[in-house]
Structure 1
Amino acid sequence: MSSTGDRPIYILMISMHGLIRSENLELGRDADTGGQITYVVELARALGKHPSVEKVDLLTRRIEDNNLAPDYRIAEEPLGHHARIIRLPCGPRRYLRKELLWPHLDQMVDQCLNFLRSQGGRLPDLLHTHYADAGYVGQQLSLLLGIPQIHTGHSLGHPKRERLLSSGRKASAIERQFNFERRIAAEESVLEHASMIVTSTQQEIDEQYSLYHHFDHQRFCVIPPGTDTTRFSPPDRRKISSSLQQNIDRFFADPAKPLILTICRPEVRKNLKGLVTAFGRNPGLQQQANLLIVAGTRDDIRELEEAQQEVMQDLLLDIDRYDLWGKVAIPKHISQDDIPELYRLAARRHGVFVNAALTEPFGLTLIEAAASGLPFVAPDDGGPRDIVRNCRSGLLSNTLESEAIAQSLKEVLADRKRWRHWARNGLNGIKRHYNWPAHVNTYMKQVRQVLRRDRKRWRRQMVIKLDSGKSYMPLVNSALISDIDNTLLGDKRALRQLANWLQHHKGRLAFGIATGRVITSAVDILKQWQAPPPAVWITSVGSEIHYGAHLIPDTGWANHIRHKWRRDALEQAMQSLPGLTLQAAENQREFKLSYIVDPDRMPSLEEINHYLRDQQLCAQLIYSHHEFLDLLPIRASKGHAIRYLSYKWGVPLHHFLVAGDSGNDQEMLVGDTLGVVVGNYSEELEPLRGMEQVHFAAGHYAAGIMEGIAHYGFGADEPVPVTQGKEESTHNQKQRK
């Protein structure tokens, strides 16, 4: 990475899911709009105020949904001093829950590259990603641009899946609902790659992240989040809205009693059922206090998501079962501006805040309660342990047992002198441990260490010098990139048609190839077929880029993918594995180590990966045709190479038409490129059928490419007519992809 010295830095934050806007956050509207949303918005806003920060861009998904406020379709929204929200299109326009976003994340990578290019070439100094989906997007950007990635998981797939399995849910059912396999794979990959992992508590590290194979204790940093003390403060500083108080008190037969307050989304994990059971089975607690449950907003319970419907219906049935009418309030509409006042109302009535969740990774509401001078009861799990230790303003309880919840609530309410002591402790603890300036100061100190440590490791050269006569890449506004074997080659007549089309568009359109062949083999086979000469050569499975007839190497790409590549050590380590024989010397390259395999003897790819990681070695394993194994740098691939070219030469990805026939081509076919799958494709690509901007052609080989050109109207105002050529030759099916 280029040196930042002491100059202010540009931080790019990414948070993919939920409803994100600068004001009046709709927390609790659904399972994806909760504490993470508050954290990323307030962190971005606080970082923008720091003198060492030039600007903060918070990237999220643009949502154009008539069921939602128009705020979420605004492309750019100010967030505060030197901070803004940037919304980019990704997948369908409508709102999607996070589990459905995975197929669209490659498009977000491409949209982020387009956005950065539109900013005039100023690259971020740092990426900070939130949750697994943004972690995936950020990792791709980090690899493509050579920018360090910091990641905050917020919640993790491994422990959540274990909890659901232990509760009796079937593995197949939870996989369909939560897409854990892909989520956990993304989390593993981010853990291996990220320069720093930020957590809120030590428990997250010791009991949650430690479940992952790529757990590395040295790269974790505990930085408790802050709270906005301009919003959350004791009742003696603010007047409570009379209309809000009336809205709450109308539920109660005796509104003057102390108030037990809980604020959470209507999820099973939040254990609202356990809380109502605790209150309903304890007449003494009902004598002491009223119960106020703020569980998101709703117009009609029947319009909520199915899981939320079940929680709310159970809640109402239990209230009726225990005859709690006049003692419990569950208001339908509470805005985010009302939340601080509810804490103050409960504090003024000497009540208590309760978080009854079954598990709690952090517990942001506990910090908000403490900042409001309101003691709390919380799960004896995860983050609350740290908060109780730092604030000394509440009790930990076994929230798995309703009786234990009831006894803890009664204990807090019973002693007014201790209540006041806890209220003061909470205010002091927040000032010492949970304010945003302290959080950001610690954050920036850690960031500077990351930037200094990674400066040489991430250094890259993005520009190469080309004589004007050797490449016309700086002049083009679109590109056609094709795999060679079984895509470009296989039908001589169709190939001639494509060559004529390319000649007609030369000068403003670049032709390139992307192949597993080494550069010399690619040159030879194209000469044999009298194929049009490429302006760009992506060879050796994306590990090399050359330009023009003189095969000028892109040294910037070589410097970029050199990250963590130790070829000699890899070759030595692989010698001890059975079933692997080095291919001939002409198939070996600086950034490609190639083997012929005996599939019956070779260890599985997972076993090889684990073995290499134990040796502290990093490589991508590319296995093809049950016959070949290539080891590549972790940044090298056909798809990454195309996105690098897009960024480098300023050609938007949707101006790239890419053609392929097998699974090795999949990465370059998805995202914002215009994908063409030729008619003689391998079944590995069938899952792409139906995806946006992936066209399955009927024509084989180059005829399929011509069909794709016509389908997209690529390179011309009018679609190019396609004539299906007779297949004059078939290509050796065992050629390398």
Structure 2
Amino acid sequence: MGRPLDILHFSLHGLIRGQEMELGRDPDTGGQCLYVLELVKALSRHPDVRRVTLVTRRVSDPKVSTDYAKPHEDLGHGAEIRRIDGGPKLYRRKEVLWRHLDAMIDNTLAWLRRERRMPDLIHAHYGDAGYVGRQVAAVLGCPFVFTGHSLGRVKRMKLMESGMDGAEIEKRYNLNVRIESEEMSLDAASFVVTSTHQEIEEQYAMYDQYAADRMRVIPPGVDLSRFDGEGDAEVVASVAAKLERFLLDPQKPAVLAIARADERKNLAGLVRAFGGNEWLRENANLVIVGGNRKLIEDLAPGPRKVWMELLRLIDDCDLRGNVAIPKTHGAAEVAGFFRWAAERGGVFVNPAFTEPFGLTLLEASAAGLPLVATHDGGPRDILANCENGVLVDPFDPVAIGKAIEGILSEPTHQAALAAQGAKAVREFYGWSSHVNRYLREMRKVLPMMNLPVVPVVERVGLAECERWIVMDLPSALEGESEEMMGRLRGVFEDGTIELGIATGMSYERAMGMIERLGMPLPSFVVSRLGARIDYPRPGAVARDEVWQRQISVNWRREEVVKVLEGLHGLELQPEAEQDALKVSFYRDDRSGPRRLEVQRKLREAGIAAKVLVTAGRYLDVVPVRSGKDVALRYLMHKWGMDASSILYFATLGSDAAVMRGRMLAVVAGNSDPQLEILTERVRLRYSEQTGLAGLFEGIEAYGFLEGKKPPGPDDTLSSDHETVSVEELLP
């Protein structure tokens, strides 16, 4: 069996709590949130699991429950929810949070260090969590697992097919950065958990870094206990009261749909199917549970549009007395809706245009309802396993209506499908079978890493100090005046502030330059863009061997060279500039390939790596778990350095990734133009002055020498629309 496991799951968007989930409240609080919560609970009940945590974003907003502001929620059996600060305290849709995810990385690492906790595996759900989870895993040196749930390339294709303009899609959904985050999550993943084979073949296969051998189909489980017995009497009565007040004859067979009020769920298509079928209008009732609403005018634009169309169709089809549309419901009542429909010999319908999995189909089957479901996505696998219904074209309301009629018009057939589904869903989709398969796959990747995780130690051999200045060594330093260099040396004289170096040059070249300029001995040097970490001492140096082994995993240097050597506009740099963990090229800034083109070329060859461009003329390829940013986070985590006590002086393009988190950042006035794409925020300052004068301009603005309290995390978003470029956030 091995030692009990410690697992972290990341699911950042939406509103997640242990009880009374507000499913359908908005597009971000849907089936993914419930799946991850139930998975965490199910894992905690397995004897091989010691501890499992669901990490999500903390939200403090008067418009939502105070439950979501609690940093910790105990779920029992070693399971918990941990809410981490990251960006605005207010509740915001996932598309506008990208710039704030680096703060979540830093805050998550700080929490783990406080708890002296080293997880065995990190599993991220969706592209935003992939952005955070893969970088936390890179720092800790543990395996990373990814589940996309809904993928950006698929969403963009569907939106384009619907006629939406490409520029408007990007403005609204930030799909470019989401897709690139998904690609990098696939780069870093030890394996990818999917729900269905169709998801692999028609969705993940669209990605450059798709690798069939890392795909694992593990269908989600469902809490079947909710459908055992007759149900809570109070809930049964409440559900009946909410539905039957709409209906002239509540005993007719029910056509039930439960989904968010989202255009992709195609609830309007179901109303058209029902209203256009004479047999259904005469012999059945339609029940649509489309989330909670009080006043339609208070809903978000998307749900408001859906409900306005539903109400118009109900009126156009003259369905009053034949359709129930309850305004509100609690989480416990969802099972009650299924049970109510099953008792009346009904059918459950999922008419969505696209359905990655279809958790409600499992719940309906467990309750004893036959299925009519879209032929897109997960329903294919579910109906193949359960054999309890019919697949339909979601764009054909006539076919949907006939499929429903075909089941309800033959009660014996309806009962046989209901019994078959209730039996099969327990065989194929119980949580115990899901968890057992999940843990088998997880055990396979643990030995593959074969690495000591980052030791959480106190500072031994690393200088104790209050604050840090970290910088590269740009060639312009050699031209600084002696007065300015003397001022820089003076910053470090009393020992309260220490120097750290993060550079692309070799350790030997860096130390030679430091000696020539008379700079103080740094406490650490990150060299070769993160390929190496050293701790210099007078007359000696200690290399961080744990870091070396950690970033070497799955690095294929020879294949990188083979794929890129000879590419037009790239030329290998001399051997002195190369490293076992870095491949360096000169890039023609007029005809050379763009960073994303090189990244795509490597992905097409199945190579996971990071591509970095500096000053437009230098292109470097490093391991996917390397980079200045990851190396500095590793140091902070290992030695207990607070990110807010570090000032980073940025001059080169390779500094971009470092500047996105909780460190204070200063950009020199003559810095690489590549740094100009970063959006200014409270812990990022663009100096007007050049060189070291720009550094001191930032130092004075922050009050850094005086130990002034740093500005708080950026807590504002002026708009619910915030377009983010790929170049700004990745790599």
Does TM, scored on the shorter chain, surpass 0.5? yes
Q: Supply the distance in 1 between the matched residues of 2:224 and 2:342 (Cα, whole angstroms).
A: 16
Q: Supply the distance in 2 between the matched residues of 1:530 and 1:240 (Cα, whole angstroms).
A: 76
Matched residue SS, 2:675:
helix
Q: After TM superposition, give the deviation of residue 139 of structure 1 in Å.
A: 1.2
Q: Supply the distance in 2 between the matched residues of 1:46 and 1:509 (Cα, whole angstroms).
A: 48
Structure-1 residue corresponding to 2:726: none
Structure-1 residue corresponding to 2:42: 46
Structure-2 residue corresponding to 1:556: 546
Structure 1 segment 651-670 matched on structure 2, within 5 A: 651-670=641-660
Structure-2 residue corresponding to 1:116: 112
| Residue identity opposite 1:643 in structure 2 | R
| Residue identity opposite 2:618 in structure 1 | F
Counterpart selection for 1:198 from 186, 193, 196: 193
Q: After TM superposition, give the deviation of residue 16 of structure 1 in Å.
A: 0.8
Residue 89 in structure 1 maps to residue 108 in structure 2 = no
Counterpart selection for 2:103 from 96, 103, 107: 107
Residue 348 in structure 1 maps to residue 343 in structure 2 = yes
Bigger shift: 542-551 or 567-576?
A: 567-576
Residue 147 in structure 1 maps to residue 142 in structure 2 = yes
Q: Deviations over 1:288-313 (max 9, x none)?
A: 11111111111111111111111111
Residues 529, 438 of structure 1: alpha-carbon distance in 2 compared, 3 angstrom cutoff: same
Residues 368, 461 of structure 1: alpha-carbon distance in 2 compared, 3 angstrom cutoff: closer
Residues 407, 659 of structure 1: alpha-carbon distance in 2 compared, 3 angstrom cutoff: same
| Residue identity opposite 2:526 in structure 1 | I
Contact 2:349 2:371 survives alignment (8 Å) = yes
Matched residue SS, 2:73:
strand
Counterpart selection for 1:514 from 502, 511, 519: 502
Matched residue SS, 1:551:
strand
| Residue identity opposite 1:485 in structure 2 | P
Q: Deviations over 1:386-412 (max 9, x none)?
A: 222222222222221111111111112
Structure-2 residue corresponding to 1:686: 676
Bigger shift: 582-591 or 158-167?
A: 582-591
Residues 465, 297 of structure 1: alpha-carbon distance in 2 compared, 3 angstrom cutoff: closer
Structure-2 residue corresponding to 1:316: 311
Q: After TM superposition, give the deviation of residue 276 of structure 1 in Å.
A: 1.0
Contact 1:235 1:348 survives alignment (8 Å) = no
Q: Supply the distance in 2 between the matched residues of 1:59 and 1:617 (Cα, whole angstroms).
A: 29
Q: Deviations over 1:206-235 (max 9, x none)?
A: 111111121111111111111112212364
Structure-2 residue corresponding to 1:723: none
Residues 450, 357 of structure 1: alpha-carbon distance in 2 compared, 3 angstrom cutoff: same
Q: After TM superposition, give the deviation of residue 123 of structure 1 in Å.
A: 0.7
| Residue identity opposite 1:696 in structure 2 | Y
Structure 1 segment 439-454 matched on structure 2, within 5 A: 439-452=434-447, 454=448
Matched residue SS, 1:213:
coil
Structure 1 segment 571-586 matched on structure 2, within 5 A: 571=561, 574-586=564-576
Q: Supply the distance in 1 between the matched residues of 2:418 and 2:440 (Cα, whole angstroms).
A: 32
Contact 2:470 2:646 survives alignment (8 Å) = yes
Q: Deviations over 1:607-628 (max 9, x none)?
A: 5445545555444333323332
Structure-1 residue corresponding to 2:429: 434
Bigger shift: 185-194 or 13-22?
A: 185-194
Unaligned runs of 5+ in 2: 711-731
Structure 1 segment 459-538 matched on structure 2, within 5 A: 459=452, 462=455, 471-473=461-463, 475-485=464-474, 490-504=480-494, 506=495, 508-538=496-526
| Residue identity opposite 1:106 in structure 2 | D
Residue 10 in structure 1 maps to residue 44 in structure 2 = no
Q: Supply the distance in 2 between the matched residues of 1:236 and 1:86 (Cα, whole angstroms).
A: 31
Matched residue SS, 2:521:
coil
Counterpart selection for 2:620 from 630, 640, 659: 630
Structure 1 segment 16-55 matched on structure 2, within 5 A: 16-55=12-51
Identity of aligned residues (%): 40
Contact 1:461 1:555 survives alignment (8 Å) = no
**TM superposition score normalised by structure 2:** 0.92
Aligned residues: 707
Q: Supply the distance in 2 between the matched residues of 1:396 and 1:613 (Cα, whole angstroms).
A: 36
Q: Supply the distance in 2 between the matched residues of 1:696 and 1:607 (Cα, whole angstroms).
A: 29
Matched residue SS, 1:714:
coil
Q: Supply the distance in 2 between the matched residues of 1:611 and 1:205 (Cα, whole angstroms).
A: 21
Structure-2 residue corresponding to 1:732: none
Counterpart selection for 2:247 from 228, 242, 252: 252
| Residue identity opposite 2:10 in structure 1 | I
Residue 296 in structure 1 maps to residue 291 in structure 2 = yes
Q: After TM superposition, give the deviation of residue 465 of structure 1 in Å.
A: 12
Contact 1:487 1:660 survives alignment (8 Å) = no
Q: Which has the higher contact order (CA 8 A, sep 6+)?
A: 2
Residues 391, 316 of structure 1: alpha-carbon distance in 2 compared, 3 angstrom cutoff: same
| Residue identity opposite 2:207 in structure 1 | Y
Structure-1 residue corresponding to 2:449: 455
Q: After TM superposition, give the deviation of residue 269 of structure 1 in Å.
A: 0.8
Structure-1 residue corresponding to 2:129: 134
Matched residue SS, 2:373:
strand
Q: Deviations over 1:259-287 (max 9, x none)?
A: 22111011111111111111222232111
Q: Supply the distance in 1 between the matched residues of 2:246 and 2:30 (Cα, whole angstroms).
A: 26
Q: Supply the distance in 1 between the matched residues of 2:4 and 2:709 (Cα, whole angstroms).
A: 49
Structure-1 residue corresponding to 2:332: 337
What is the CA RMSD across the aligned residues, in angstroms? 2.4
Residues 56, 491 of structure 1: alpha-carbon distance in 2 compared, 3 angstrom cutoff: farther
Counterpart selection for 2:73 from 71, 77, 82: 77
| Residue identity opposite 2:153 in structure 1 | H
Contact 1:487 1:659 survives alignment (8 Å) = no
Residues 334, 617 of structure 1: alpha-carbon distance in 2 compared, 3 angstrom cutoff: closer
Q: Deviations over 1:457-494 (max 9, x none)?
A: x456758999x7xx443x33432211222786635433
Q: After TM superposition, give the deviation of residue 15 of structure 1 in Å.
A: 0.3
Residue 676 in structure 1 maps to residue 670 in structure 2 = no
Bigger shift: 318-327 or 61-70?
A: 318-327
Q: Supply the distance in 1 between the matched residues of 2:608 and 2:366 (Cα, whole angstroms).
A: 46
Contact 2:614 2:672 survives alignment (8 Å) = no
Q: Deviations over 1:585-606 (max 9, x none)?
A: 4323333333334455645545
Q: Supply the distance in 2 between the matched residues of 1:249 and 1:426 (Cα, whole angstroms).
A: 26
Q: Supply the distance in 1 between the matched residues of 2:268 and 2:705 (Cα, whole angstroms).
A: 61
Structure 1 segment 387-398 matched on structure 2, within 5 A: 387-398=382-393
Contact 1:483 1:513 survives alignment (8 Å) = yes
Residues 430, 455 of structure 1: alpha-carbon distance in 2 compared, 3 angstrom cutoff: same
Q: Supply the distance in 1 between the matched residues of 2:606 and 2:264 (Cα, whole angstroms).
A: 38
Unaligned runs of 5+ in 1: 721-737
Q: Supply the distance in 1 between the matched residues of 2:209 and 2:582 (Cα, whole angstroms).
A: 24
Residue 650 in structure 1 maps to residue 640 in structure 2 = yes
Q: After TM superposition, give the deviation of residue 574 of structure 1 in Å.
A: 4.5
Matched residue SS, 2:704:
coil
Contact 1:666 1:685 survives alignment (8 Å) = yes
| Residue identity opposite 1:513 in structure 2 | I
Residues 242, 584 of structure 1: alpha-carbon distance in 2 compared, 3 angstrom cutoff: closer
Structure-1 residue corresponding to 2:714: none
Q: After TM superposition, give the deviation of residue 698 of structure 1 in Å.
A: 3.5
Counterpart selection for 1:546 from 534, 544, 552: 534
Q: Supply the distance in 2 between the matched residues of 1:339 and 1:55 (Cα, whole angstroms).
A: 29
